[in-house]
Amino acid sequence: MPAGSEFAVLRDADGRRLHDTPLDEMRRPGLVRDVWHSNDILVLMPPDAGHSVWWFFTEGHFAGWYVNLEKPFTRTDAGVDTTDLVLDVWVEPDRSWQWKAEDEMAARIGRPHYFDGATAAGIRAEGERLIKLAEAGAYPFDGTHVDFRPDPAWTPLTLPSHFAALSRRGAETLTRRESDDE
C-alpha cells in the first residue's frame, strides 16, 4: 500500500482512536476514512493466522517488519476485515525486535470488548512464535520481499464508493454489541 492510500480507522465522536482510549469509553464509535501518510507497506495476511506481517519501506528502502497481532481476517465486499489485538512486534532489518503497545495491552485485559488474561497470554504466545521466526531468519523474515518495489504507475488506493454504507453498518453492529453487554 503506497503512502497516500485511504484506509478505514475506528474513531469516536471526539476523534479518538482505539490506541487513545478503550472501546468501552468511546462515544459513538464508527469507521471513518483516513490517509496512510508515512511509509509504503507490503502486507502479508496469511489465511486463518492470528497475525499479519507488514514490510515497511521508507523512500524506497526496506525499514523493517511490523508484526500486527490480530484476529484472522474475513473477506467482505470492501476487502478484508480483521480485529487488532493491541500487542504488536517491530522487527529491525537485522532481526532485533521490540514489543509495541505492551502498556496498552496490559490496560485492556479484563475490559469490556477486549480479552481476559488467558486470551492475552495466547496473543502474546503468537507474538513470541513470530519473534522466534524472526530471530531464526525464517520466512517471512528471511529477506523475502525486502527488495520489493511497486510499479511506479500504481496510484494510492481508495476505499470503495459504498464505504459510507459499510461503515454505518459496522457502527450499528458496535452499538448493538454495547447494548447486549449492558
Q: Contact, 39 vs 64, CB < 8 A? A: no
| Cα–Cα distance list, 41 to 36, 80, 117 (Å) | 10, 16, 32
* Rounded CA separation 146/137 (Å): 13
Q: What is the pLDDT of residue 69?
A: 98
Q: How far apart are CA 3 and CA 51, in angstroms?
A: 22
Is the pLDDT at 176 greater than 80? The verdict is no
pTM for the structure as a whole: 0.85
- Rounded mean pLDDT, 122-126: 98
**Could you read off the pLDDT of 62-98 as tens digits, one per residue?**
999 999 999 999 998 767 888 999 999 999 999 999 9
On the question of pLDDT at 180 being above 80, the answer is no
Cα–Cα distance between 10 and 27 in angstroms, integer?
A: 11
What's the confidence (pLDDT) of residue 181? 42
Domains of the chain (ranges, CATH numbers) = 39-155 (2.40.380.10)
Q: Which amino acid is at 182?
A: E
111-115, 123-127, 175-179: range with lowest mean pLDDT:
175-179
